[in-house]
């Protein structure tokens, strides 16, 4: 389910074959009635099928009426099949993903721990919520849980598609584990938090299969509109029969049914479910599990995006950004000994010091310090460095620890040291003081770095009309610095979990839809309050349960792409609805003249397509009405291409492409079909 998968062709041979079978299964009226538009088409098929065998049932007369009714019935049957096929293809992609997930649900064994620590090996399906299990190197985690103790690398590729193992440990925001993932080092003791059949993996399978998919408010509203339009056109067509009789025109029942099918919005009616399912599918293929279609749709209407600073806008690891020498010390000397102190330091901070020194043109031969003793950083000493073989001591660390050591060696503290360290602290950075024996050389400025490319991404959001708000617990000065560098619209400093909820409620009170990301237990209330809550898979169970979306890659900035997918869903639905309704205009010009031209010759002026005969005109319109549905399936599945722009621009683009296109395409399509089928109708003596 990686991004690579999303670029594969949208329908495989297996999905095609399964969808074909499902198309016939969905003909069940109990299923069809959920889609009123296509249900009307199916009813029309049964009526025309009956008229094929009893052509005079409604008093109709005419040459070869049986053949004509049979052709109408066949085309209506194909129309319903194509609509069912569109929905089945969309569902098939979800089922294919579900099958790959089910492979991870093996009949695994679990090591159950009792109160005395005794291990009992049992089937994973017997593990209950609240049980403590031990998982060791090579074991499959039996169910969702929270780590009680231990530290281990966990392979989550079965769920995320990413091969790199993730470090998991007790406490903090990375203590949650998912059933079906595999421990690849060390061991973990896990408290099970889900009952059998209710794990996150079970929910994922249910969701991607479509079993839990409910129609969204927007989809239901559009369904109601289509139903109302269908009822209106049904009444119009019913009144045409007496009007025709009054005008001396005998209109066969099958022709009236054909007219009804062509007038009602069958195109969007046949594709509506597929568009909704495909929206959830696109999010899933982006490694995000949406708990409902409503969540995906809400993404398209988001006005405000709330983002945490650490880990979302910034890396969270404080990296070396600058060297500042104290008075009386040479800058190059500071850089040299800061580099030496970090040669064997494998922490992100240590490696960043080496990288910054290299950028400034200072490098050393590691072999020269091979025999030096490395002093690791500890919570007690709060410093690290090297002891050289000649007795030289080089350290970097917290201000208080370095000052204490230097003074213990008889050294003095530079007067401007406090000024430098205070300035760094005020900017939200971490000052690391460097010393050589009893001499303080200067300070390394460790800074929380903004992720590259975010400025451009936030600009993209502005083009969509979405405001970005950064929430951080940092002081206002630090918050202002990061906010300016990242390019967010607004920031809230010294923000508490309660503060996030207040911000969300404030924006919602103004009628705005709010999205936010989070991974900790303290984020859960705000994730639940937001209209779109994106929780990290690496986060806590509480966060994942509160959110309506879970990012399997645990990338907090992915909410930007999720919003774009939501907007693409709404635009796709709007574009195809516009195309469907515009489509009907051409069908009016095909069928209405065909019905009345015989009795009212002046109606022939409306036959702008110069269709051969009334029968060929009606059947050509019906054929076009049927084949346009499968032709639009790729657009419904992949979505209309979305570019960030204002609503007015998008509306104009939709009207020009799908509105104008919806009028022009049928004119050409119906004319071509008429030229093909007219000779065939002559052979059948129906023309």
Known binding site for Mg(2+): residues? 519, 523
**Three-state DSSP class for residue 375:** strand
Phi then psi dihedrals of residue 400, to 5 deg: -60, -40
Could you tell me which residues come within 8 angstroms of residue 652 by beta carbon, excluding any fewer than 6 positions away? none
Instruction: Tell me the β-bridge partners of 528.
Output: none
Q: Which residue, 2, 530, 552, 513, is CA-closest to 308?
A: 530
In the Cβ-directed half-sphere of 166, how many Cα atoms lie within 13 Å?
24
The CA distance from 573 to 222, in Å, is: 9
Residues 445 and 465 sit within 8 Å (Cβ to Cβ): no
Element of type H or E holding 670: helix 660-683
Known binding residues: 345, 349, 377-384, 396, 519, 523
The Cα–Cα gap between 26 and 214 comes to: 17
Give the chain's radius of gyration (CA, Å). 34
CA–CA dist 548, 528 (Å, integer): 8
Active-site residue, from 139, 173, 202, 308: 308
C-beta of residue 287 within 8 angstroms of C-beta of residue 552:
yes
- The residues that bridge with 397 in the sheet, in sequence order, are 383, 433
Per the CB < 8 A criterion, the answer to whether 464 and 426 are in contact is: no
DSSP tally for the chain: helices H, then strands E: 24, 21
Residue 18 annotated among the catalytic residues of the structure: no
CA atoms within 13 A on the CB side of 274: 30
Report the Cα 565 to chain-centroid distance in Å. Answer: 6
Q: And the tokens for 64?
A: 């070869």
* Burial class of 605 by CB neighbour count within 10 A (0 to 12, 13 to 18, 19+): exposed
Q: Would you list which residues are annotated within the binding site for ATP?
A: 345, 349, 377-384, 396
Residues with catalytic roles: 308
């Amino acid at each position: 389910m990686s991004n690579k998968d999303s670029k594969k062709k949208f329908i495989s041979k297996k999905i095609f074959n399964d969808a074909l079978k499902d198309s016939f299964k969905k003909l069940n009226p109990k299923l069809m009635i959920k889609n009123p538009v296509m249900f009307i088409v199916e009813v029309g098929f049964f009526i025309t099928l009956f008229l094929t065998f009893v052509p005079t049932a409604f008093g109709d007369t005419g040459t070869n009426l049986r053949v004509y009714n049979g052709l109408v019935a066949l085309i209506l049957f194909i129309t319903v099949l194509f609509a069912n096929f569109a929905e089945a293809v969309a569902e098939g992609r979800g089922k294919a993903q579900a099958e790959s997930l089910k492979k991870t649900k093996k009949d695994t064994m679990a090591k159950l721990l009792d109160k005395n620590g005794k291990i009992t090996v049992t089937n994973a399906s017997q593990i209950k919520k609240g049980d403590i299990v031990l998982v060791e190197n090579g074991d499959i985690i039996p169910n969702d849980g929270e780590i009680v103790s231990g530290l281990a690398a966990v392979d989550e590729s079965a769920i995320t598609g990413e091969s790199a193992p993730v470090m998991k440990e007790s406490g903090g925001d990375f203590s949650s584990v998912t059933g079906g993932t595999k421990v690849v080092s060390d061991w973990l003791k896990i408290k099970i938090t889900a009952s059998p059949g209710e794990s996150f993996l079970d929910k994922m399978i249910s969701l991607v299969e479509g079993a839990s998919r409910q129609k969204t408010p927007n989809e239901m509203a559009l369904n109601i509109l289509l139903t109302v339009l269908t009822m209106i056109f049904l009444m119009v067509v019913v009144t045409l029969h007496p009007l025709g009789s009054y005008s001396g025109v005998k209109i066969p029942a099958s022709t009236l049914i054909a007219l009804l099918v062509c007038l009602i919005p069958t195109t969007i009616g046949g594709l509506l479910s597929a568009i909704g399912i495909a929206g959830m599918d696109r999010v899933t293929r982006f490694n995000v599990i949406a708990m409902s279609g409503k969540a995906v749709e809400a993404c398209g209407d988001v006005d405000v995006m709330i983002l945490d600073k650490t880990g979302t806008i910034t890396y969270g690891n404080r990296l070396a950004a600058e060297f500042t020498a104290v008075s009386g010390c040479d800058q190059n000397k500071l850089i040299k000994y800061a580099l030496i102190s970090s040669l064997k330091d494998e922490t992100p901070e240590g490696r960043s010091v080496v990288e910054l020194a290299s950028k400034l043109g200072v490098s050393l031969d590691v072999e020269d310090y091979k025999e030096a003793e490395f002093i690791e950083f500890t919570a007690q000493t709060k410093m690290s460095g090297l002891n050289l073989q000649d007795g030289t001591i080089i350290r970097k660390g917290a201000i208080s620890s370095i000052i204490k050591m230097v003074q213990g060696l008889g050294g003095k503290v530079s007067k401007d040291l406090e000024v430098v360290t205070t300035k760094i602290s005020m900017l939200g950075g971490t000052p690391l003081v460097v010393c050589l024996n009893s001499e303080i050389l200067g300070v390394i400025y460790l800074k929380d770095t903004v992720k590259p490319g975010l400025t451009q991404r936030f600009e993209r959001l502005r083009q969509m009309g979405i405001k970005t708000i950064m929430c951080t617990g940092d002081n206002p000065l630090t918050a202002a610095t990061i906010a300016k560098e990242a390019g967010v619209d607004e920031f809230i400093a010294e923000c508490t979990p309660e503060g996030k909820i207040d911000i969300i409620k404030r924006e919602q009170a103004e009628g705005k839809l709010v999205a936010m990301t989070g991974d900790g237990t303290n984020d859960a209330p705000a994730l639940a309050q937001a209209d779109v809550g994106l929780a990290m898979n690496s986060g806590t169970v509480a966060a994942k349960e509160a959110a309506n979306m879970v990012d399997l890659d645990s990338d907090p900035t992915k909410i930007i792409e999720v919003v774009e997918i939501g907007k693409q869903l709404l635009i796709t639905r709007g574009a195809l609805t516009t195309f469907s309704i515009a489509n009907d205009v051409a069908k009016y010009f095909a069928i209405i003249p065909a019905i009345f031209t015989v009795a009212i010759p002046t109606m022939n002026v409306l036959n702008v397509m110069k269709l051969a005969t009334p029968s060929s005109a009606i059947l050509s319109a019906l054929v076009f009405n049927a084949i346009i549905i499968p032709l639009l399936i790729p657009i419904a599945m992949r979505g209309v291409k979305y570019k960030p722009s204002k609503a007015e621009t998008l509306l104009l683009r939709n009207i020009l492409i799908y509105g104008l296109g919806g009028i022009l395409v049928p004119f050409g399509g119906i004319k071509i079909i008429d030229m093909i089928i007219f000779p065939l109708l002559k052979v059948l003596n129906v023309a």
